[in-house]
Structure 1
Amino acid sequence: MCCMEFKFDANQEFQVQAVDAICDLFDGQIHIRAQVSFNAGTFTLASIPNRLDLDDVTLLKNLQDVQRRNGIQPDERLEYIEETIQTVDGEKAARFPNFSVEMETGTGKTYVYLRTILELNRRYGMRKFIVVVPSVAIREGVFKTLKVTAKHFRELFGNPVYRYYKYDSANLSQVRQFAQSDSVEIMVMTLDSFNKASNVIRQSTDRLQGETPLFLVQAARPILILDEPQNMESEKAIAALATLDPLMALRYSATHRNPYNVVYRLTPAEAYRQGLVKKIEVDSVIRENAENQPYLRLEAIQTQKRTITAKITVHKLMKSGQVKETAITVRPGDSLEEKTNRAEYASFMVDEINPGAGFVRFANNIELGIGEELGADRDVLFDAQIRHTIEEHMRKQARLNEKGIKVLSLFFIDKVANYASEDGIIRKLFDQAFDDLKARYPGWNELSPSEVRAAYFAEKRRRSGETEALDSVSGETKEDEAAYDLIMRDKEALLSFPGPGDDEETRRKKQVSFIFSHSALREGWDNPNIFQICTLNQTVSAIKKRQEVGRGIRLAVDQSGRRLHDNAVNILTVIANESYRRYVETYQDEIAFEYRSEIEGRYGKSISDLSDEERRKVEEEYGEGILPPQPRQAGEQKAKLRKARVLSEEFKELWERIKHKTRYAVRIDTEALLAEVISEVDRADIAPPRVTITKASVIAGDDGIFEAMQLSQAKNAADLAGRWPLPNLIDLMADLMENTTPPIRLTRRTLLEVYRRAGNKKAAIDNPHEWATVAIRIIKEKLAIQLVRGVEYIRISDGPGADSLPDDEKWYEMRQILDDTEVELFSKYIEPTREERSVYDLVPCDSDVERQFVRDLEARQDVKLYLKLPYWFTVPTPVGEYRPDWAIVMESKEEAEKPILYLVTETKGSLREAELRPNEWRRIQCGAAHFGSKQLGRKGALEEVDYKVVTKARELP
């Protein structure tokens, strides 16, 4: 039984639009009959060339009409490439227009440009086409598409005569045929085959009776089809393209670095929303609560002038008390303990950074290569990913059997040796998992792991006759080419179920469902029935998310070769070794970055320099998510000081009352603290370290941004408890207390007592770091409550030894205000003020509440003067520095001895403790204890100021 055969739908509207977008550019061009042209030089070159008779005015009008029709901002000029080239007649100025089609990966870009070739021939008689590709992988993919579309195109176009072939420097008769044939000729070339002076195509040769192959190509005035032209933008590449003396260049890519007159655009988000590609789910396989050992991943080594640095991802202790995966930059001599604030890294002192060999060595003799990890429980993660991929595969195959769809899974691996060697961990884990799972699903039980898996690696044959699988670096070696050829030949077999008429070799190919590859398959090859992609490669792999996803995003086909448009079927699951949020954010960032490069090329300026009008046009055309938010420029607005208001008696009196700095003292009831802490620690849910799997769906918003929507709760895939030596728990707790903000110290005896009295000691043994983190968080919360309850302030100027202190240590000097004659403003809202009200002409507001508060202050007649307190005006508290909001002078409504009120006011959206962040409320309580507050019932160190918390100005006295 033969393999399935691809069927193609000639009526997909978006593909027809893309074909018409190019062909309609030449509206008015007459159909050119084949006519031999002679170019007399050193030798007479006979050719049947392409020809374009339209002038620039007509071509530009056609371009603008097509762009308007397709919702693209019309260009004001044609984009030409101009270079001086060497021809048979000597030097010549080559000049040719460029037009671009932008189509998301997986939507049939290659099909579209091959169909465009034949449509240009049908409409206008154009015959000579060169498909230029940046890599061998893409060349093999294009050639495969030419083969599988041949029957479809001959039926669609009435059996036209066209030939296609790969350029081969050993078969130069192809070049003569290309120039002199009157049929449609499609030659596929890599850029490397003609971009150097040493290339065979540039040399005169006896094989062509002394002719230079390049001159024959030039004589044909070929139309260039540039596949992935963003990889052909260097000066050398552009010069090489010009040497072919093309009639024009048609550029096809998912994202263009230089847009060159875009005529059609199908963005990733639009293709996704229209269901033209598979929907994406991300199954995130990650470690949770597993900070008990030091974790490191070497991301990159950078050299700049005489400085060498390395970027390393670590688990860093943040000021909040949480441990977070963070990338840090290190130099020789740096201590990771100091960089992370964690004692677990004490032995990791950077000893050597070697950019040539690509490694970092630490003083403990541990060495990390670029992309390598330490402490990642790699084997456990690999096992979880592989098992989950196999199970997803088997479940999906059972569901899709009745539709005649064969499911494929693709594994991207970190190192070929982890699969190809006899003890390769990835192959061992796969075989074990497959044997464990196959009995649960009908149809798999009789198969062995070796029958269902295949690997496509570059291979090198040794002198001994043995073959060695290689890690693919460039993707351009002869060994890589052999790997591409193998998987291209097997493409239809991979899509077919075994049948009764199959010979042994065919049956073996059809049984393969699980494909393993290194980076060789990052481009140029895809398969519509890839439903799972498992990324066993490091997250810093050179393979981008879009390249990975691109291998399986094309819509699925059934056994008849018919493409299915069914959203329930077309779901690609990525089994990733990182959080689904990070995966999708990186995926979106890659798209945005590539589009930004295109936009910068189009406008000739950086994104940050676009005008408001240019930004509006870009967002209309590309979607809002492509451009980053416009940053507020430093010093964009400046508040100017009204010096006369500062020197007024009202302000002087206000400042005299609020200027004093204070010290605080607190009382702690240790027994009460222990009782509260232990009660809550015992109720805390402290999970053991584990590997979890969480499923999320990727959605495309109307603004063009891809986001993740969680579909399931995290489920356990592996338990990591007991895999590491237990640390000294009290040392760990003390370290967490000291290295978070604010740092707090308790005696080791108190910390030991917390553990001794705690009831959940098993959790402390299973996951000591998480237990210590939770315990310290609770200690700090309960301690903060006690500190705030018992805090008392005294003026520094009233304390012992005050007479010997300089004034600026006892209070804030008014000259600090007078020195700030202009203040740069960075706040979200800026409000203008009246001269009789405010010290500054503009007031920064960080919220709508503050903005309305300022407007209401301006409207109240009893407000004599107000000041948004400067950033340096702070009050020390046991829970960090507190910056009060406003100082206000008001007329009193009471006919008393003091007709003026002096207030320090805090504006909040709510007065309820439960609706404020814990530290916000605690700092407010400390502010009340510092200034004194009738509202909060606290006596303060500053007796002649009243401290209030309000939501609106009408709540003032």
Structure 2
Amino acid sequence: MKFKFDSEQEYQVDAVESVVGLFDGQAFVRNQLTVPTGAAFQVVPNRLDLTPEQLLAHLQKVQNDRGLDQDDKLETLTAKVDTLRGEEDITFPNFSVEMETGTGKTYVYIRTALRLYETYGLRKFIIVVPSVAVREGVKKTLEVTKTHFDKLFGKPPYHFTVYDSARKSQVSGFALSDGIEIMVMTIDAFKRAETVIRQSREGLDPPIYQLQETRPVLILDEPQNMESDLSVSALASLNPICALRYSATHRNAYNVVYRLTPFDAYRQGLVKRIEVASVVQQDNENMPFVRVEELNATKRTVSAKLSVHKLMATGKIQEKPITVRSGDSLVEKTGRAEYEGFVVDEINPGSGFIRFANNQELALGGEQGSDRDAIFEAQIAFTIEEHFRRQRRLKEHGIKVLSLFFIDKVDNYSPDDGKLKMIFVKAFDEIKQRYDEWKTVSAADVQKAYFATKTKKTGETEVLDSTGKTKQDDEAFNLIMREKERLLSFEEPVAFIFSHSALREGWDNPNVFQICTMREVGSDTERRQQVGRGVRLPVNQDGDRIQDEQINVLTVVASETYERFVAGLQSEIEREYGKDALPPPPPNQRKRTIIKLRKQFMLKPEFKELWDKIKHRTRYSVQIDTAKLIEDAVAELDETTISKPRITVSKANIRVDEAEDFFEPIVLSGARTAVDLAGRYPLPNLIEVMESLMENTSPPMRLSRRTLLEVFKRTSKRDEATENPHDFAVNAVNILKSKLADQMVKGIKYEKDGTWFEQSQFAEEIQTWEDYVVPSIETGGVGGTHIYDGVRWDSEGIEKQFVLDLEKRADVKLYIKLPDWFTVDTPIGRYNPDWAVVMDDPDNGGENLYLVRETKGTLELGELRPDEKAKIKCGQRHFRDALGVSYKVVTNASELPDGGV
């Protein structure tokens, strides 16, 4: 099978012609053998006749034609360079092409070089790459596109070579050729003074002098890896007429002439659509969970960002990010006794780990507390089944399906008894029984692993956790690159590829349809790197590219929620493309404003009388019937579902919002159980867990251990408690608190405690969002007046309209949106009522009427949440019984004057 290439893809042609347009007006350069002044060698050089002003004008025209922002100057790089004529300042312009991974960047720049020769006679090109791995990939593309370009350009005099310092005549051959010469070099091959190309030999000039005199066009592949001063100096040492920079992730976008963003590529169907199969634990908070998201160091502090299971005020456990420093306790950070011993002992960003006082050590991206083996089982089984299904569908289209696994540790796979290898074999042998075409296939024949290796002095080969930066990684990369076409053949049984890091960068295969990520995402761009290995459009057995959107789907089997995966992918794009790649912030976050206190209103008699009535604090007393509490709690607990801990799989498609450049998940299937985890964990002291939840959730309450034990003894859910102790405890405590609150509120009594709120607690200024403020009328016309010159509303449909109506009414003398600190103690937490109003009393000769009102969407208390209803009942007892102030729930301002007190 040979790859085929389509020369009519508009976006690729546009990218090529954008660069060609930069040199409009350049005279065709005829081949002319020259002898540079003072040189003992000859060259056939490039020549650029355009002035910087002309280049800038052409750049601006290209940018205007492509809808890009116009630059007002050429972006040049300058460095002092040792040349044939001594040390010189070499300056060269830079032009950037942004193309998303998988859209044919290498094809585009090779074709661009041939077009520059065809149009202007430019013939010397040096492709500079950041690593040997990428160099081999470029070499492969040059090889497989040769026939295609020969046909497209009429067999031009086209020669390419990979720079080899051992080939003494290579540089001379490049310099003297009158045809198109393309040399591929790593930046390290000429970056330092001690490299061979910079050294004199046998009394001759250094080879780099001859390259300099050819005035090459530099093509920089992944230039974000060549931004150091040393790299810039090295590029300048080639004395280029310009540098053409190609990447999906530019760090510095010099004079962009073409841009194809991830969102453009996705919308236009130039890459596979992505769907995420999320394999996660659910209802399993029985073990302390920690995941290391970031390790940060500044001049003054070292910190880490962790994800943990935090106890919320509701009693639920949620995964939340926290920042920790040395000495911090996760018990205090999470409110959970389960984190006992997790005190930060050392944070080491350099070595990439955090260690706790209990000797737990986690690397960046690592986690503990989840059942990793169970998650691995579910991920591998799902990937195999997805592979079988997809291969069955695509066989008739002549498409060989590949699946790629990124594993957590080489030792988990490489040995014969590696747990991931054994999990794969077991799952493969079980699942294949449901697919006739796979029944006779051996698991050993279909899998292959590519890892970095190191040969010891003893001759023994050691398999390593690769980093993507070593020679061993390059060797692993080269191995798979040479077998690219064979992997796509049905004759080759290998279809499942395992890697640690060696294939994360630089390698891709168009027929990867499943990527299973069994390692935590540890870098800022690892999701994009991993996804990038499979986004290219697939090919069939004839090498034809497939354009069917129903076929072109990449499934990422991730050990995280699809929401987290998509958010991470989005943030990685934001880091690389900047904020312009994201939608603008919502309107209510665009402008802040300040509302100011009208101090003169506090001198008004109406305010003084109102404040004297409502300012008093109270205390409450309650009576509890313990026997009834236990009876009621057990009855409800017996009807409650205690979820089993489990590994679930759910799938979501990723789409780009049509109006904005923004990825969003669209759920394709609900969560289904893949692995049941019930009964796998030791049973904790349930009474202690329940006691802790009672005291550390809102509102904090206490019950005796005897009462808690009695509830456990009487419930029919004891078996479920052993399967998922934490979920049982959370449900039992929530029910107990609800029943306890019902009893407390029903018989609650308030009395003044002799303290009160001070007027001085009113803030002079309040900063808020402008969109959430209704201005308050101070003088003139009709209208009530708020004690601030604006009112912040919390709900548009109820509170905002309530304020607008108050401002229009002449019988409202003054009103207050009661501040957050104005609260009433209740058994279920502090209650902050909404409004205090001073009005004319039409039934009392116009005397002032003092009201406290709560605004809700309904007057039926039964339709409110239990905590809302309970707090309103407590509010009635506090204001009516203890303070003698009118208190009611209203839905709108028209209910104020009618109905009396």
Does structure 1 conserve the Cα–Cα contact (< 8 Å) formed by 2:588 and 2:769?
no
Offset of residue 437 of structure 1: 2.1
Question: Aligned match of 1:949 in 877, 882, 889?
Answer: 889
Does structure 2 conserve the Cα–Cα contact (< 8 Å) formed by 1:539 and 1:577?
no
Q: Partners of 1:824 and 1:51 in 2: how far apart?
A: 62
Number of the residue aligned with 2:756: 811
Residue 754 and residue 103 in structure 1: after superposition, are their counterparts in 2 closer, same or farther (change >3 A)?
A: same
Q: Give the counterpart letter for 2:482 in structure 1.
A: R
Pairing 1:193–2:189 present: yes
Number of the residue aligned with 1:50: 46
Q: Partners of 1:127 and 1:724 in 2: how far apart?
A: 69
- Return the TM-score normalized by structure 2: 0.94
Number of the residue aligned with 1:821: 764
Offset of residue 296 of structure 1: 3.0
Pairing 1:568–2:554 present: no
Offset of residue 308 of structure 1: 4.5
Question: Aligned match of 2:514 in 532, 536, 550?
Answer: 532
Does structure 2 conserve the Cα–Cα contact (< 8 Å) formed by 1:140 and 1:524?
no
Pairing 1:384–2:378 present: yes
Number of the residue aligned with 1:513: 495
Does structure 1 conserve the Cα–Cα contact (< 8 Å) formed by 2:26 and 2:48?
yes
Q: Partners of 1:307 and 1:59 in 2: how far apart?
A: 48
Does structure 2 conserve the Cα–Cα contact (< 8 Å) formed by 1:221 and 1:245?
yes
Cα root mean square deviation, aligned: 2.3
Question: Aligned match of 1:662 in 618, 624, 639?
Answer: 618
Deviations 1:229-273 (A, max 9, x none): 222223332232222221111111113222212222222122112
Offset of residue 141 of structure 1: 1.4
Deviations 1:750-769 (A, max 9, x none): 21122122122221111111
Question: Aligned match of 2:733 in 776, 784, 797?
Answer: 776
Offset of residue 947 of structure 1: 2.1
Number of the residue aligned with 1:226: 220
Q: Partners of 1:913 and 1:192 in 2: how far apart?
A: 74
Pairing 1:74–2:66 present: no
Q: Partners of 1:226 and 1:87 in 2: how far apart?
A: 22
Q: Partners of 1:827 and 1:846 in 2: how far apart?
A: 13
Q: Give the counterpart letter for 2:683 in structure 1.
A: L
Secondary structure, in 3 states, of the residue corresponding to 2:708?
Answer: helix
Secondary structure, in 3 states, of the residue corresponding to 1:650?
Answer: helix
How do residues 901-912 of structure 1 correspond to structure 2 at under 5 angstroms? 901-912=849-860
Residue 954 and residue 553 in structure 1: after superposition, are their counterparts in 2 closer, same or farther (change >3 A)?
A: same
Residue 29 and residue 365 in structure 1: after superposition, are their counterparts in 2 closer, same or farther (change >3 A)?
A: closer
Q: Partners of 2:833 and 2:812 in 1: how far apart?
A: 19
Question: Aligned match of 1:921 in 861, 869, 874?
Answer: 869
Task: Identify the range of structure 1 (735-744 vs 876-885) with the bigger mean alpha-carbon deviation.
Answer: 876-885
Q: Give the counterpart letter for 1:845 in structure 2.
A: W
Q: Partners of 1:238 and 1:919 in 2: how far apart?
A: 65
Q: Partners of 1:351 and 1:24 in 2: how far apart?
A: 59
Task: Identify the range of structure 1 (824-833 vs 113-122) with the bigger mean alpha-carbon deviation.
Answer: 824-833
Number of the residue aligned with 1:40: 37
Offset of residue 916 of structure 1: 4.4
Does structure 1 conserve the Cα–Cα contact (< 8 Å) formed by 2:30 and 2:121?
yes
Question: Aligned match of 2:238 in 240, 244, 250?
Answer: 244
Q: Partners of 1:271 and 1:131 in 2: how far apart?
A: 25
Pairing 1:136–2:123 present: no
Residue 22 and residue 458 in structure 1: after superposition, are their counterparts in 2 closer, same or farther (change >3 A)?
A: same
Secondary structure, in 3 states, of the residue corresponding to 1:710?
Answer: strand
Deviations 1:387-412 (A, max 9, x none): 11111111111111111110000010
Offset of residue 909 of structure 1: 4.2
Number of the residue aligned with 1:484: 477
Offset of residue 677 of structure 1: 2.2
Question: Aligned match of 1:30 in 16, 23, 27?
Answer: 27
Q: Partners of 1:540 and 1:692 in 2: how far apart?
A: 23
Deviations 1:591-624 (A, max 9, x none): 122111xxxxxxxxxx6xxxxxxxxxx4xxx4x5
How do residues 466-615 of structure 1 correspond to structure 2 at under 5 angstroms? 466-473=460-467, 475-498=468-491, 510-540=492-522, 544-596=526-578
Pairing 1:859–2:808 present: yes
How do residues 215-614 of structure 1 correspond to structure 2 at under 5 angstroms? 215-305=209-299, 307-353=301-347, 358-473=352-467, 475-498=468-491, 510-540=492-522, 544-596=526-578
Number of the residue aligned with 1:501: none
Residue 915 and residue 13 in structure 1: after superposition, are their counterparts in 2 closer, same or farther (change >3 A)?
A: farther
Does structure 2 conserve the Cα–Cα contact (< 8 Å) formed by 1:827 and 1:846?
no
Secondary structure, in 3 states, of the residue corresponding to 2:502?
Answer: helix
Q: Partners of 2:368 and 2:525 in 1: how far apart?
A: 21
Does structure 2 conserve the Cα–Cα contact (< 8 Å) formed by 1:382 and 1:536?
yes
Number of the residue aligned with 1:833: 776
Does structure 2 conserve the Cα–Cα contact (< 8 Å) formed by 1:828 and 1:845?
no
Deviations 1:340-384 (A, max 9, x none): 322222244444555665544444444444444333222221121
Does structure 2 conserve the Cα–Cα contact (< 8 Å) formed by 1:828 and 1:846?
no
Q: Partners of 1:229 and 1:357 in 2: how far apart?
A: 27
Number of the residue aligned with 1:126: 122
Does structure 1 conserve the Cα–Cα contact (< 8 Å) formed by 2:588 and 2:771?
no
Residue 742 and residue 828 in structure 1: after superposition, are their counterparts in 2 closer, same or farther (change >3 A)?
A: farther
Pairing 1:8–2:1 present: no
Residue 928 and residue 234 in structure 1: after superposition, are their counterparts in 2 closer, same or farther (change >3 A)?
A: farther
Secondary structure, in 3 states, of the residue corresponding to 1:519?
Answer: coil
Number of the residue aligned with 1:885: 834
Number of the residue aligned with 2:782: none
Number of the residue aligned with 1:18: 15
Equivalent pairs: percent with the same residue?
Answer: 55
Offset of residue 160 of structure 1: 0.9
Does structure 2 conserve the Cα–Cα contact (< 8 Å) formed by 1:694 and 1:714?
yes
Q: Partners of 1:257 and 1:952 in 2: how far apart?
A: 55
Unmatched runs of 5 consecutive residues or more in structure 1:
499-509, 597-606, 608-617, 798-809, 933-939
Q: Give the counterpart letter for 1:580 in structure 2.
A: Y
Q: Partners of 1:821 and 1:335 in 2: how far apart?
A: 38
Task: Identify the range of structure 1 (91-100 vs 410-419) with the bigger mean alpha-carbon deviation.
Answer: 91-100
Q: Partners of 2:395 and 2:879 in 1: how far apart?
A: 75
Q: Give the counterpart letter for 1:681 in structure 2.
A: L
Does structure 2 conserve the Cα–Cα contact (< 8 Å) formed by 1:451 and 1:511?
yes
Q: Partners of 1:364 and 1:254 in 2: how far apart?
A: 43
Q: Give the counterpart letter for 1:775 in structure 2.
A: A
Q: Partners of 1:476 and 1:265 in 2: how far apart?
A: 29
Deviations 1:714-742 (A, max 9, x none): 11111112212111111111111111122
Secondary structure, in 3 states, of the residue corresponding to 1:714?
Answer: strand
Does structure 1 conserve the Cα–Cα contact (< 8 Å) formed by 2:593 and 2:770?
no
Number of the residue aligned with 1:801: none
Q: Partners of 2:128 and 2:889 in 1: how far apart?
A: 70
Q: Partners of 1:148 and 1:388 in 2: how far apart?
A: 35
Task: Identify the range of structure 1 (243-252 vs 209-218) with the bigger mean alpha-carbon deviation.
Answer: 209-218
Does structure 2 conserve the Cα–Cα contact (< 8 Å) formed by 1:913 and 1:921?
yes
Q: Give the counterpart letter for 1:336 in structure 2.
A: L
Number of the residue aligned with 1:846: 794
Residue 114 and residue 631 in structure 1: after superposition, are their counterparts in 2 closer, same or farther (change >3 A)?
A: farther
Offset of residue 838 of structure 1: 2.8
Secondary structure, in 3 states, of the residue corresponding to 2:234?
Answer: helix
Secondary structure, in 3 states, of the residue corresponding to 1:894?
Answer: helix
Q: Partners of 2:290 and 2:776 in 1: how far apart?
A: 53
Task: Identify the range of structure 1 (405-414 vs 662-671) with the bigger mean alpha-carbon deviation.
Answer: 662-671
Unmatched runs of 5 consecutive residues or more in structure 2:
780-784
Pairing 1:109–2:105 present: yes
Question: Aligned match of 1:723 in 680, 689, 694?
Answer: 680
Deviations 1:673-709 (A, max 9, x none): 3333223222222221111111111111111111111
Residue 813 and residue 243 in structure 1: after superposition, are their counterparts in 2 closer, same or farther (change >3 A)?
A: same
Deviations 1:56-81 (A, max 9, x none): 33333322222222222222332222
How do residues 682-693 of structure 1 correspond to structure 2 at under 5 angstroms? 682-693=638-649
- Return the TM-score normalized by structure 1: 0.89
Does structure 2 conserve the Cα–Cα contact (< 8 Å) formed by 1:45 and 1:219?
no
Deviations 1:87-125 (A, max 9, x none): 211232322222211111111111111111111111111
Residue 32 and residue 357 in structure 1: after superposition, are their counterparts in 2 closer, same or farther (change >3 A)?
A: closer
